[in-house]
Amino acid sequence: MKMEGLYMGKCKEKIIFHIDVNSAFLSWTAADALQHGETVDIRKIAAVIGGDPLSRHGIVLAKSMLAKKYNIKTGESLFSARQKCPKLKVVAPKYDLYVRCSNAMLNILKEYTPVIQRFSIDECFLDFSNMENIYKDTMKLAYDIKDRINRELGFTVNIGIAHNKLLAKMASDFEKPDKVHTLFENEIKKKMWTLPVGDLFMVGRATEPKLHKLNINTIGELANFDINILKTVFKSHGNLIWNYANGIENSKVKPGNLTDMKSMGNSTTMAFDISDRSTAYMVLLSLCETVGMRLRNSQNLCTLVSIEIKNSDFSCYSRQRKLMHATDCTNEIVKTTYSLFDEVWKGEKLRLLGVSVSELCSNENYQISIFDNKDMEKHRALDSAIDKIRMKYGSNSVQRGMFLQSGLKPMSGGVGEDEYAEMSSRL
């Protein structure tokens, strides 16, 4: 406990907010629908956001409170969810809408502090340290922000307040929706240590059962466990989760966008088996457009492109390629994806295709490389213009001519089964 006392003294001046949109994809979809004349609020019925409702497969990406009562879980198949609730309403995702809503929230938050870290599309950390002269009442500030977002944008958020990012994030996960919670050091034992150990940030599905075998079932039991045993079992991760259980976390709120992502991607299970190269190319092109748009919106470049294939026999295989230079250009991603597909496809019928990019870096210092072709800047300018049109008028406002001729629909700009970006392993 001596260590904890030192930590409290070091961080007592810090005030960190974690803002988390309640059921983000569902809330954003509902708010947009109501603004456009829809009379049914999907947040108040059994509804989920998932893959294409007409396709054979897809997973639940977000669920309403009523859907939750049917024991429908995020990540389970739509088929399983419909078995639990036959009248379940399934709404296809729209990534371009989510980006607009996320950016609108960010623009409001920028009016309160310049120190904002966008942790994911629906989460932000805000640093209000040393701003006591501006904001004398921290709780009032949190309620003002929460209520303004609801009033102006039509969706609710939870806000966690603490002296570091970890505790602020934990606090925002307390009772939902539309709540403000604190989790300061003197509240850890009462508010956090009683929670199941699986609720602790960075204790995942693989770690939790191993902790149970050590008879560690609550966060408090983890906090008071022998750290040397944890290090023996979990290596460096044991030290990390022990620190987190004790509320120890010192990272700064890093202004900027999603530069800490490890990768991002999109995949789709087709409504019919694909057996020809040209159709596969169109599906891959559509996936690349979505990934490219997300890459540019996150202000990142990629240096590794990967594809995933699942055939009609459910066999999966993949291939990846390191790029000679970092890029966010859709055409560059498409060319690499086509080449990878040609290398790996064995001519069998295809059920699923996926594209992802990784080894990301910020685009802030982008410079034209000697390896860039002479039209690279033209392609990047075109990508930027198309992104702006789609963000304003919808993902289908600009389409490539080949989709009009083929009768196939391009991806909605929405979220595929593996869309959600992998975040870095640390705050």
pLDDT score for 9? 37
Please state, rounded to an integer, the average pLDDT across all residues of the chain: 83
Q: What's the confidence (pLDDT) of residue 399? A: 55
Instruction: Judge whether 410 and 398 are in contact, CB under 8 Å.
Output: no
pLDDT band at residue 56 using 50, 70 and 90 as cut-offs: very low
Instruction: Give the pLDDT confidence score for residue 55 in this predicted structure.
Output: 53
User: Which residue do the tokens 């623009």 mark?
Assistant: 107
Catalytic residue selected from 13, 38, 76, 123: 123
Share of the chain above pLDDT 70, in %: 79
Over residues 124-147, the mean pLDDT reads 94
**What is the Cα–Cα distance from 130 to 346, expressed in whole angstroms?**
61
Distance CA 162, CA 175 (A): 16
123 is catalytic: yes
pTM of the model: 0.66
pLDDT at 257: 53
| E runs forming strands in 56-186 | 60-63, 89-91, 116-120, 123-127, 157-162, 180-182
Structure-model confidence comparison of residues 420 and 332, the more confident one: 332
Angle, CA of 80, 206 and 309, to the nearest 5°: 55
In this structure, the strands spanning 157-162 and 180-182 are parallel
What ranges make up the beta strands (E) of 281-408? 300-311, 316-327, 350-358, 361-362
Residue whose entry in the numeric block shows the structure tokens 């790029």: 323
Q: Which residues touch 267 (CB under 8 Å, ≥6 apart)?
A: 287, 308, 352, 353, 354, 355, 416, 417, 418, 419
Q: Tens digit of pLDDT for each residue in 208-266?
A: 999 999 999 999 999 999 999 999 999 999 999 999 999 999 999 988 654 456 778 88
- In this prediction, residue 293 carries a pLDDT of 85
By C-alpha distance, which of 55, 60, 90 is closest to 73? 60
Does residue 382 or residue 180 have the better pLDDT? 180
- Condensed to tens digits (0 to 9), the pLDDT of residues 273-287 reads 888 898 899 889 888
On whether the CB atoms of residues 333 and 306 are closer than 8 A, the answer is no
Mean pLDDT of 104-128: 93
Nearest 10 degrees: Cα torsion 128, 132, 137, 138: 20
Backbone region of residue 394 per phi and psi (left: phi > 0; alpha: psi in -120 to 50; beta: other values) = left
Mean pLDDT of 384-408: 57
pLDDT at 23 over 80: yes
Residues paired with 47 in a beta bridge = 89
Cα 376 → chain centroid: 29
Superfamily of domain 263-406: DNA polymerase, Y-family, little finger domain (3.30.1490.100)
Domains of the chain by residue range: 25-93, 193-245, 263-406
Q: Which CATH superfamily does the domain covering 193-245 fall into?
A: 5' to 3' exonuclease, C-terminal subdomain (1.10.150.20)
Which of 397 and 216 is assigned the larger pLDDT?
216
pLDDT given for residue 6 in this prediction: 33
pLDDT of residue 111: 95
Least confident range of 164-168, 254-258, 309-313: 254-258
Average pLDDT for 158-173: 97
Q: Show contacts of 5-13: CB within 8 Å, 24+ apart.
A: 7/185, 7/247, 7/248, 8/163, 8/185, 8/186, 10/250, 11/163, 11/164, 11/185, 11/250, 12/163, 13/129, 13/130
Least-confidence region, from 204-208, 244-248, 265-269, 301-305: 265-269
Average pLDDT over residues 320-333: 89
Confidence of residue 391 (pLDDT cuts 50, 70, 90): low
Question: With contact defined as beta carbons under 8 Å apart, do 297 and 343 qualify?
Answer: no
C-alpha distances in Å from residue 267, one per residue of 148, 165, 200, 246, 282: 36, 32, 29, 39, 13
Name the band, by pLDDT with cuts 50, 70 and 90, for residue 290.
confident
The average pLDDT across 184-208 equals 94
Strands 123-127 and 16-21: antiparallel
Q: What is the mean pLDDT of the segment spanning 29-43? A: 93
Closest to 345 measured CA to CA, from 286, 302, 266, 284? 284
Q: What is the average pLDDT across 51-55?
A: 59
**Minimum mean pLDDT range among 48-57, 105-114, 346-355:** 48-57
Q: How confident is the model at residue 204 (pLDDT cuts 50, 70, 90)?
A: confident
Is the preceding peptide bond at 114 cis, omega within 30 degrees of 0? no
> Cα(422)–Cα(358) distance, rounded to whole angstroms?
10
pLDDT of residue 300: 84
Cβ count within 10 A of residue 221? 15
Output the pLDDT for position 384.
72
For domain 25-93, the question of CATH label 3.30.450.60 is answered with no
pLDDT mean over 299-326: 87
- According to the model, what pLDDT value does residue 366 have? 52
